[in-house]
Amino acid sequence: MTALRSLSFTAALLVSSLVAGPLSASELNLYTTREAGLIQPLLDKFTEKTGVKVNTVFLKDGLAERVLAEGANSPADLLMTVDVGNLVDLVEQGVTQPTASEALTASIPAQLRDPDGHWYALSLRARALYASKERTDLTSFTYEQLADPAWKGKVCIRSGQHPYNTALIAAMIAKHGEAKTEAWLVGVKENLARKAGGGDRDVARDILGDICDVGLANSYYVGLMRSGKGGAEQEQWVAAIRPILPTFAGGGTHVNISGAAVAKHAPNKDNAVKLLEYLVSDEAQALYAEANYEYPVKPGVAGAELIADLGPLTVDSTPLIEISQHRKAASELVDKVGFDD
């Protein structure tokens, strides 16, 4: 049985135990695309503290399609996924409902949640710069510098159409407009050391291999590679780089999120909100950070020790909802300049 088939089979078994309509007062149904190994310890802690049982359906993809197919009888109470684009898509497909909570608004900065209360960020992943320890002496960087001719033939990056980069390009549009972002994208393409593609960890691999000197990749991969969870080879890759938190010129660091939304027909809405509020508590935020090396969304909670050398994260103040509105234009610019060609 393949891993995907196994996952689907497991999900089917779990779903079979879910019944539309209110559960007992001490249960809720969570649909999530997050990995079980990451989220389950947090759910176990929630149940331990509150007595509320969480029935979880782990999905690889098709979250909105599943809830839409279930319609008004859907047993889903809370929908959890990654990438602000996916959360906005859930809202636009009509499978969420607004939620008001003082605990959530007090814990999550305004630019990291939906202004109408449909979704809330739960953790942050910064778009970081990986720089060669041997061939650079960088200690700071701006995203705009990536198009500087000084880096010609020295930049590695994954596809411009990947959501991580599309979100960054959308943020660039929000800050500088489409014309300047197009010029920036052309400059970055001219600086590429290889065709845009691969994964974020491949940037560290290719810096070790002397293919490039710098590249963009998410911050939490630094922790994953250092942890040894990816094997000894990845520990060698990450040892070759100096991770830096870039900023926009005059701004902060671009972040994307994991987040969640209360389902439109949630039969157990109160428990769904209770879980959301727990996930932004100091305890849960610290667990998030140590489990997957993402940054806490709640100010004042320390990040993981393994990425402490990146320094404090100053999140760019551009609202994620504004960035999400430029995703389509960002994707079109990637094609227009032939970034992935």
Provide the annotated binding site for Fe cation: 220-221
3-state secondary structure 248-314: CCCCCECEEEEEEEEECCCCCHHHHHHHHHHHCCHHHHHHHHHHHCCEECCCCCCCCHHHHHHCCCC
Single-letter amino acid, residue 50? T
Torsion 72-75-80-83 (CA) sign: negative
Give the C-alpha distances (Å, rounded to integers) separating 203 from 145, 221, 242: 17, 11, 12
Q: CB of 223 within 8 A of CB of 126?
A: no
Phi-psi region of 253 (alpha: psi -120 to 50; beta: other; left: phi over 0): beta
Q: CB of 173 within 8 A of CB of 329?
A: yes
Which string of DSSP letters, residue by residue, matches 133-198? Answer: TTT---S--BGGGGG-GGGTT-EE---TTSHHHHHHHHHHHHHH-HHHHHHHHHHHHHHBSS-S-S
Question: What is the C-alpha separation between 221 and 200, in angstroms, rounded?
Answer: 7
Question: What is the C-alpha separation between 255 and 220, in angstroms, rounded?
Answer: 11
- Other CB atoms within a 10 A radius of the CB of residue 72 amount to 7
Q: Which residues are annotated as a binding site?
A: 220-221
| Residue 328 phi, psi (nearest 5) | -65, -45
Q: How many CA atoms within 13 Å lie on the side-chain side of 267?
A: 18
The conformation of residue 96, written as its DSSP 8-state character, comes to B
